[in-house]
Each structure stands twice: as C-alpha cells, then as structure tokens.
Structure 1
Amino acid sequence: MNSKLGGKYILGNSMTPAQALESIGKGLKQKRIQKRATQEELASHAGVSLSLVKRLESGKSVATENLVKIMTSLEVLKGFVDLFPESQGLTPQEEWEALQKKRFNVPKRIRKSKEINRVRLD
C-alpha cells in the first residue's frame, strides 16, 4: 500500500484514537470549568443531552455534530477550524484534479541533440 498517510496511523504519532478522545475530553472539560459552567449548563447551551457531555468529557466517542455544538458553546470551534485553511474556492474533486495535473505535467529534462553540439564546435 503506497499511501501518503502512512498506513492506519501516521508514523511518529504515538497517540491512539482512544488517547486522542481522552485528551480532547479533558481539554473541553478544563475549558468548561474555566468558564465556570456546569455540565448541565453546557448541555443546555449546546442543545445536547447531559449524558453526551459526560461521555465526551470522559473520553468517549460522540457524533461530530454534537462535538461541534459543544466546541461552539465553549468558544473553541474557531481555533479548531482555523487549523484547516479554506481552499481557493475549489471543490475537493477540482483540488484533486489540479494536484494530478501538477504532478504529471512536470516538464521532462530535455537533452541537447548531438547536431546542436556539432554546430557549436564547427
């Protein structure tokens, strides 16, 4: 498998998905506590259930939409979204096609013909 992603997990990154979820949960919990909000208040503000907030803070998986709601309520979504700069108005398909053109339209090295070299010697 010749993948740019390096297989199932990126090489050099020792964090498993479970560890990443735990780290995210702890970080969001710290942010909630900094804002002096209870789990109940966060759940109500984000429009999610209390059990979902508890699951997330304990490192369990939640739906992406619910994660976004909580991140929005804690005012951390923009920082996350800023990690991924917007494209130049291209669709993912157009970006892929542009990348393919760039990769395959590289000019090949042009050799000087022997005749040109002879003319210069004459």
Structure 2
Amino acid sequence: INGIGDTVIGALRDFFGNERNDDVLDALLAQVHPKPYIVNVSADSVVAGKTIVFTGTLEKMTRSEAKAMAERLGAKVAGSVSAKTDLVVAGPGAGSKLKLATELDIEVIDEDAWLQRIGKA
C-alpha cells in the first residue's frame, strides 16, 4: 500500500501474528457491521452497453482505473479487439490492437478524447 513503510508493516505483522490479540479482534469484529460495497452502474452514459478496449500506454490514469471507470459507466472492457468491439482507446505504443481496430473500421480515440467523452476532462 502506497505510503505505508516497513515500520508500520512490521507493527501490523506483529499485532496480527500475536495470538493474544485474537480475542481483541474477535470482540472488534462482533461490533462491526460493514455495509456491502455497491458500485452504481450508469445505464444512460454515452458508453453504456458498448465494448471498449484500452491499448498502449495510458498517461493520465492506470489501466485498472480506466477499466473501472468504463465499467461504472455501463461499458464492457475487453482485452482484445474483435468485430464486437465498439471503441478502442489507444495510447502511445499501441500496436496490433490498434492495427486490427483500424482494419475492422472500429472507432479509435486517444485518452484525452476518452476523458472528454465521459465528461472527465
């Protein structure tokens, strides 16, 4: 986890590795009732129902952030380009996926256009 150093990791490891702390943890867990994490999926976004492929280097977000964002907006994110692909978001270094998308006449946009399209620019 970003920002957690060796000292904190060591202290956590020591705490959770100590059997005497099991009762403390059990008592704590008996009092905690977390709500399930629910991701709201938008069915009315401009990419809802579309299949999207991210290829090349993304410079403003990680690939997992891009995937999560697209899925929250109701899109399906695929790992490869096919005739069922609706949109390819291509960054620097895009190779065979970009070539295939062009051959299949699939819409290709860059990361900035993607962010504008989903209203995150």
Which protein has the bigger strand share?
2
CA radius of gyration, larger in: 1
* Shared fold (TM-score, shorter chain, > 0.5): no
TM range (shorter): under 0.3
